[in-house]
Structure 1
């Protein structure tokens, strides 16, 4: 399958990162969001990141200009009609994703691959909402998308081998290193990572150490580039909580119980970097 144009639905952190990675790799990208304000903010942020790449010598001026020209932003799903792959990158709620995926399916060409960037929701259950579940697959990127090379490709029970092959092809085409994982709650990375972050909240709540000391312990003692609490802030505390709730519900094991402190911070609106405050305070 020749992949030249992709669609990304959802202009938040993940959608913007996927769009940036694809245009730098030479693909045309249609970025769709229902909010014009979100689109404008996302495109401005994306362009600023490209400019920083030029300043750091990671991208030359002409290549940057060409990449910008390959991006189209729209609030109209009909703009996805010519896409070869469309990936949904909306909020981590199944009902929202199903509504978006159905909208995508009603618009795209019969050959197009439809994907979701979900970090924990069952690919098989999402596929069941579509008329052509065989062309649906999970393609899970990691934040920040332009930096981290891993992509989890997750076939649902209904996904065809051709769909999975096309997903792997696209991931490699944009410079990523894909792994194929089973449709199990949390897949591979989040099933290991998010419970570890959740445990950091238990340790913080118990007063075993301060947030700074917990993060320093894992950076200096375990060789992590970023501490677990700072990483939770980067991911989004609401996303971490959502994944923990999915793990507990779908696996039925009490070890996946979300920390009450994590739940409390989310209830307070302290969601991490995107809100300016999570475990830590952020300025700018």
Structure 2
């Protein structure tokens, strides 16, 4: 272990918005980063995302390192064999059970016996995923929040088979990244997604019922409860499709109180996914 409390080489599977943000966080903390994507085109797009985040960090004075120094510690490829040199790999693929299991099993084949594996899942069972792995004691949930550079929270999700050592070490990783850890035992939706989705679904029902506009519902939570962002704007940032997937999972595990409202299902069916599509509960085309 290095002085920054995590392995000097960290791998990330998936270089989308979340994966790129995770890579950026570990880069700023001093690690050498390997991002693995599904093909060369996706790898190039992932590199551009991470380098854009590096540039913004330098511009706002968030790091004393220069672009050349940081980018020199970044490798982006479609070849996962570099995972053999990583002491930690974080899986950051979309929230699909079969994809998660396939991805985690694939990473595990490359990892050394003492290397750690983490999932960035925001809701799927860490215990269930661990049962699909050969070394469940080396597996933990690291739930980063979007956008990663601005968020100060990481949820450390401890499974039944997660080793005591790993649970403690993971808190050290979070501190080394300059963020705060909340530690939760595995449960549907953990703590953050469960509470966040519950509020967001009720806000959607209020829109559906004509109680108030999305703008006024969000303003009530921002001004009345000091939330930095309202639940509907947050849903647009996260992605309505992502929120629907989490709601479907929580509905299946926790019951009717998490049943997704029809307005959410209709918007996703129309392709209104939030900021990434230009339209969600708000208009993002500008």
* TM-score normalized with structure 2 length: 0.94
| Alpha-carbon distance, 1:35 to partner | 3.2
Query: What is the aligned partner in structure 2 of residue 148 from structure 1?
Result: 151
Q: How does 1:1-284 map to 2 (within 5 A)?
A: 1-2=1-2, 3-60=7-64, 62-251=65-254, 253-283=255-285
SS at match of 1:230: helix
- Give 1:81 shift: 1.1
Q: Give the root-mean-square deviation of aligned CA atoms.
A: 1.4
Query: Any idea what SS the aligned residue of 1:58 has?
Result: coil
Q: Which moved more, 1:22-31 or 1:50-59?
A: 50-59
User: Hey, what's the Cα distance between the residues in 2 that align with 1:110 and 1:91?
Assistant: 26
Distance (whole Å) between structure 1 residues aligned to residue 155 and residue 75 of structure 2: 26
The unaligned stretches of length 5 or more in structure 1 are none
- d(CA) in 2 for partners of 1:35 and 1:275? 23
d(CA) in 1 for partners of 2:173, 2:222: 34
TM-fit CA distance, 1:247: 1.3
CA distance in structure 2 between the partners assigned to 1:167 and 1:59 by the alignment:
23
Give 3-state SS (helix, strand or coil) of 1:151's partner.
Answer: strand
Where structure 2 has 5 or more consecutive residues not aligned to the other structure, the ranges are none
Question: How many residues are paired up?
Answer: 282
Q: Spell out structure 1 runs of 4+ moving beyond 3 A.
A: none
Cα offset, 1:45, TM superposition: 2.4
C-alpha distance in 2 between matches for 1:274 and 1:263 = 17
